[in-house]
Structures are given as C-alpha cells and as structure tokens.
Amino acid sequence: MDSNSDPPFHEAYKILFDKTRNNEENDFDNEFVVVEECELPVIDLSRLEESEEMVREECKSHIARASKDWGFFQVVNHGISTDIFSRLRCEQEKMFKQPFENKTKEDVFLNFSAGSYRWGTPTATCIRQLSWSEAFHIPLTDILGSTGSNPLCSTIEQFATTVSRLAHILADILAEKMGHKSTFFKENCLPDTCYLRLNRYPPCPSAFGIHGLMPHTDSDFLTILYQDQVGGLQLVKDKRWIAVKPNPEALIINIGDLFQAWSNGVYKSVEHRVVTNPKLERFSMAYFFCPSNETVIESCREPSVYRKFSFREYRQQVRDDVQKMGSKIGLPRFLAYDSS
C-alpha cells in the first residue's frame, strides 16, 4: 500500500500510548491464551438438496448443533464461485489503495452513505481499545440496484444477493430446529435492513501488541464472512482463544446477539477478534443479517432469559456503552430479572 493510503495508525497509537503509559498494562490478554489453531465445523450445504429427507435433516441438525456448541461454523458448496471471490479481492484492494483523503469522502468518491468509511477506534481511551484496521460499513441499499458500471458495486451485489439467500435459509433452519416454522425472518430481515462490511487489516509492528479488531460479539442475527487465507480470526471456546484455520472453499457463519436472545440462549453469540500480522495485510468481507430498527426481539421460549427489546433500542444501548466505556456490553444489559 502507498503511504498516503493508510490511515494515521501510528499517530493514533502514539497519542494513546502517551495518555496511558503510566497506568496501562502491557498484557492485553491475561484471561485467555491461544492454545491451538483449529478448523471450525464444516457443513456441506449440498446435502440440503438431497432427495433423502434423512440426509437433509441430518445437515440441519449439524447446523443447529454447531450454533449451540460453537456459535461458529463453516459452509461449503454455498453457491458462490471462486471467480466472484477473486474479483472481490481485486476490487477491495483497488478501493483501499485510494488515498486516505478520498476514502474519508466516500459519499462523493464511491457513492456510499456518509460515514461508511471507518478506521481504528474513534472512542478508544487506551491502547487495548485501538483496532488496527480500516473498513467500509455499507448499507445494502447503497449496493443493490446501483446504476452505472462500477465493477466494485457489481461484484459486491453478486456476493450480497447470494449470501442474503443463504442467511434466510440458515435462519429458517435454526428457527425450525427450535420448533418454530415462521415467516419472522422473511418479514423483518430485508435487503434495506442488512449491511456489508469490507475490511482491511494492514501489517502492524508486532511490538505494538494490539488487535486488528477488538474482541466483540456481533449485534445481528447472523454474520456471513468471506476471508482470505492470511488468517487472524480467533474466537473463544471453553474460555480459551482458538485461532481459526482458513479454508479457501468455505464461508464462515457466526451467530449474533439477536439470535442468542431470540433462541433464549440456545444458540451462542461468541466473542471473537482479529489479531494483527506484522508482515501481511488481510482482507475480509462480512454480511450482517439484521432486522429493521422497529423489529421487537423476544425469546421464543419461556421462561425468558432476556426481556423484549427493539433492535433500535439494542443498537442505541451498544452505542451508548461504547461511547462511555470504550467497549460493548451487549446482551447482559437486557437480561430479564425476576422481580418477585
């Protein structure tokens, strides 16, 4: 990358270091230690098309089991060609190679909504809260049906259309396995309520000891991730950080907070992060399966672990917590306590 392409990460780091060097601990991960690289459960989606019902049901059961036990899984035979992935990577690189000043004017430069481009952690108050990454967080309405011959938008639209169908299939399967065959996701998770996030993680000097993306859970129903083969994604499993082994043929699926609340805690929204690489840059693209802001989330079983809340209320609480404390609290804010 050209030097004028990168955000001012080093300057942000220096400011935070100078602010906190006297009281900031150097050990960022006292609680968890990475013990191994592992491959997530792999599910072959072509089995959903088999003529034998037993094979289809077994595949659905594997999806539900991985969502309970891991909160993460991989899918292969997902319907997206390697050609689309190759073009995605190429167009992402072109976009992120643009001068930093251009990227901050994304509404003019790329016809994306104002505020789509993000880098670092604007609310960071200490080094451990700084994310060494940049991204475009794009409402799907900025992409779908866009006019013109922009190859980036065209390629993203192909990707988004396919993963949108996949998200609905997976959500319906997970609902079915909870005993609910409903139209909830079809009615509430529409193209104009979902988002794409294009990520770039530049090389970071290893001595800095900071994250590419801070530990967090996702505030949606499902996230579908396409990543390159550099690696860096890690998740918490059995109170340990597990490094996810990249699979070039797979998409990664992870459960979000809304599905954990809706399933009454059956499906797990698991904390995950991205670690930096001192030499290689990493690219990924995430699709966030979200409802409208007015959608009310309530547990499908009683007694309910969580109180009812709207997606708007949830997002606002997350924003408030991040603004005040530098990090998200999430579902613990919405526990349903017994008032008796």
307 has catalytic annotation: no
The letter for the amino acid at 130 is L
Pairing of β 134-139 and β 272-275: unpaired
Three-state SS for 189?
Answer: coil
CB neighbour class for 131 (10 Å; exposed up to 12, middle 13-18, buried from 19): buried
| Contact in structure between 99 and 7 (CB atoms under 8 Å) | no
Given the residues 240, 282, 301, 312, select the one marked as catalytic: 282
User: Measuring CA to CA, which residue among 166, 130, 179 is closest to residue 45?
Assistant: 166
Alpha carbon separation from 286 to 49, 139, 222 (Å, rounded): 25, 12, 10
- Taking the CB of residue 175, how many other CB atoms lie within 10 A of it? 20
User: What is the C-alpha to C-alpha distance for residues 68 and 50, in angstroms, rounded to an integer?
Assistant: 24
Helix (H, G, I), strand (E, B) or coil at 215: strand
Q: How many angstroms from the chain centroid is the CA of residue 80? A: 19
Q: How many CB atoms lie within 10 A of CB 293?
A: 13
d(C-alpha 138, C-alpha 33), whole Å = 33
CB 261 within 8 A of CB 299: yes
Q: What are phi and psi of 35, to 5 degrees?
A: -105, -20
Residues with a catalytic annotation lie at: 282
